[in-house]
Amino acid sequence: MTDVAYVLRAELRKLTSQSLTRVLAILVLIGPALFTAMVRIANATPGDTLLGAWVHSSGFAPPLVFLAFAASFGFPVVAALLGGDIFSAEDRHNTWKNVLTRAVDRRAVFIGKFLAASVYAVVLLALGAASAIASGVLIVGSQPLVGLSGQLIGTAPAFGLTLAAWLLNIPPLLAFVALGVFFSVATRNGIAGVLGPIALALLMQLLQRIGNAGIGHQLLLLASFDSWHGIFTTPAEGLPLLAILVSLVWTAVALGAAWWLFSRREFSGGTVSGRMAGWGGSIVLVGAVLGVAAVMVALCFLGSDPITPQRLEAELKPTFNNLTIYQQELLGRHIVPGTKLNDTSVCARRGNALDGAGDDWVCTVDVLTPQADTPNPNFEPVDYDVSIKVNGCYSADGPPSFVGNETFNDPKGKTVYNPLFEIYGCFNPL
């Protein structure tokens, strides 16, 4: 065994012996199952979330709805709890003098500690994925899933894609662990170590509401948690290399800075001697964090906005067509594959802005409607209010007089969700 392996084993033993990490394991195990069961029992539809409309239609929707929630808040918190205290805990317990006077060197201690937090984080993610998918399939069923382009995804591919979606969250999860390690090393304080990455995640969430949808937003680490959207669209995107690369760069920078501090640190007991200790060190740390924040804000305005009327029209049209076909099939009407049930769509913003994310888009879709007194179908213009985010995910509300109620009964009398009631979809804005 290598020195790193010995440290990894020791650190995992410490992690698994703590109440907090045990509670985390229990939460990620029962959380998804509890969510699915409650949605089912309460017959509630979280229709205002991505894929939330389908939680009663396919067992693969609940794990993805839960994943979207976990990615925006849960994963950064879990990573911060694990990485943000793994170094500072030694300061709190005054045990560095035990660890660093043994046979293994500092490099092995540093790598072993990061690996231990990472391994535990990945195990928690795997537990969450297993619980979410198993509970979804057991409680709701293994029906096909409606994808983010309105296409129907069969059971086997839906299972594989759902599993892949969870796995694609590993790179940004590990990057947040690395951020936790950096704050833990730099501040030597468990609270600051945990709160640092969470504060950065909150800042990134705020930044998702400003600027344009260009490359800059994709460089924010939090955006990497959304990379799984691409595998649920048509045409499906391959491996999200940009998101993985962004996660790797954040991980490398955070770990590099943490190692720079840790390798130079002096463990002199009560004497303030470390490079980041004292007021001077605190000012440097706060300055560095503010500098990173300023860079992130600047990134949000980088380049031109790729969300244009033409782009939205091109994305909305096939999605609407797919969902209309699905709606007709739910109603028991056979539609020939490849049929076009809408003709054109024209999108524009109500406000002054011409492009970009916002909730003031209106898209007019010419929808094919059968006429009772003539064999020739008629195209009827229907206005959809569209709200779109910088990550390329949108929701579109149609007029109730046209789209009907949220649910209707299929030919067998079963209540099903109306696919056109509110349309959710995603596309890669880049």
Partner 1 sequence: MSQAGPATAALKVSGLVKRYGANTVLDGVDLELSVGEVRGLIGPNGAGKTTLLRIILGLVMPDAGTVTASAQPVAGIIEQPAFYPYLSARANLEVLAEYDRGTGSDRIDEALETVGLAERDTDRVGGFSSGMRQRLGIAAALIRQPQLLLLDEPTSALDPEGVAETVALVRGLARERGVTTLISSHQLDMLGDLVDGFSRLQGGRLSHD
**Residues interacting with partner 1, by CB under 8 A?**
1, 3, 6-7, 9-10, 13-14, 17-19, 93-104, 109, 266-269, 271, 273
> Based on CB atoms, which residue is closest to partner 1, 90 or 315?
90
Q: Where are the beta strands (DSSP E) in 267-389?
A: 342-349, 358-369, 378-388
Q: Which residue, 271 or 352, is less far from partner 1 as judged by CB?
A: 271
Q: Are 201 and 176 in contact (CB under 8 A)?
A: yes
Q: Cβ 198 to partner 1, closest distance in Å?
A: 23
Shortest distance (Å) from residue 13 CB to partner 1: 6
Under 8 Å CB-to-CB from 46, ≥6 apart: which residues? 39, 52, 55, 65
CB of 100 to partner 1, least distance (A): 6
What is the smallest separation between the CB atom of 276 and partner 1, expressed in angstroms? 16
Judged by beta carbon, residue 94 or residue 378, the one nearer partner 1 is 94
Cα separation, 251 vs 245, whole angstroms: 10
CB of 192 to partner 1, least distance (A): 21
Instruction: Between 184 and 428, name the residue whose CB sits nearer to partner 1.
Output: 184
Tell me the closest approach of the beta carbon of residue 193 to partner 1, in angstroms.
17
C-alpha pair distances (Å), 339 with each of 154, 166, 223, 326, 376? 20, 34, 35, 12, 15
Residues 6+ apart with CB under 8 A from 364: 345, 346, 347, 381, 382, 383, 384
Distance separating alpha carbons of residues 82 and 201, to the nearest angstrom: 15
- Describe the crossing of helices 190-207 and 278-299 by its angle, rounded to 10 degrees: 20
Other CB atoms within 10 Å distance of the CB of residue 210: 12
| Beta carbon nearer to partner 1, 280 or 303 | 280
Burial class (CB in 10 A: 0-12, 13-18, 19+), 332: exposed
Output 2 or 378, the one with its CB closest to partner 1.
Answer: 2
Instruction: Find tokens 């929808």 and name the residue.
Output: 367
Shortest separation between residue 269's beta carbon and partner 1, angstroms: 6
The nearer residue to partner 1, 2 or 369, going by C-beta atoms, is 2
Torsion sign over Cα 274, 279, 282, 284: negative
Q: Which is nearer to partner 1, 18 or 344 (CB)?
A: 18
The CA-atom distances, in angstroms, between 187 and each of 198, 285, 415 are 15, 8, 56
The 3-class secondary structure across 279-303, one letter per residue, is HHHHHHHHHHHHHHHHHHHHHCCCC
CB of 59 to partner 1, least distance (A): 39
